[in-house]
Amino acid sequence: MTFDISIWIICGAVLLLAGFVKGVIGLGLPTISVGLLGLIMTPLQAAALLVIPNLVTNIWQLAIGEPVMALVRRLWPTLAGIVLGTLFGALALPAGTSRWAVIALGIILAVYALIGLSAVHLQVSPVAERWAGPLVGVLTGLVTVGTGVFVVPAVPYLQALGLSRAMLVQALGLSFLTSTIALAPAIAATGDMSPEIAGASLIALAPALGGMFLGQALRNKIGPAVFRRAFFGGLLLLGCYLATKPLL
């Protein structure tokens, strides 16, 4: 596709918004961006445009906070499952995004957010974590290939581990970074990562980082209770958006 001035303005505004949401709650960049940019380009082109912003913003999200190796040691079975599930899905699942898969994903995300906003707290015990981690990883990889969204079931699982606010944001960044790296070869295989898209992806990094910087500044000023409401409220909005977008 050709990037004229109007396309650049739209892409910049979308990535600024998506980066801001990611900065506040730790997720939302690919979900919001692919959904909105899908109005002016194909989902695969939008995913290709987001490769560099996704990589850099997730590395940034992962680097801010405590040393990450403790999280890697704890979450490596989940991360390995994400890679395996993504690669298997890229080979086995039909090309393109099923609108019913996206609707189901949105409904699941919205229900989980409503549970999180209520008094119910999901928890994963250390014993269950041994088998649940790899399973969640594989399922997340399959959902990523089918929908282009990294959040389910990885986000509910990570939130149920009882991590602190800072560690949860880092864990989300680690999970999303793994999904981005695993998905990149599948995008390249489709031919959508053209030199023009690759160059545009590098330029798109600027508004994404700007929005994320603003979002993180806001997150650092709010308390744990407000962050929890913002986190699950953001998930609820994302879920409702995904569930209704294919029907519009």
Domain boundaries, the chain: 5-247
- pLDDT average, residue stretch 161-189: 88
At 89-123, the pLDDT tens digits run 888 866 555 667 778 778 877 887 887 788 677 78
pTM above 0.75, yes or no: yes
Q: What is the mean pLDDT of the chain?
A: 85
Read off the pLDDT of residues 207-226 as tens digits, 9 standing for 90 and up: 999 999 999 999 888 887 88
Alpha-carbon torsion, ordered 235, 192, 201, 237, to 10 deg: -10
Distance spanning both ends of the chain, measured CA to CA: 24
User: Counting runs of H as helices and runs of E as strands, what totals does the chain give?
Assistant: 11, 0
**pLDDT band at residue 247, thresholds of 50, 70 and 90?**
confident
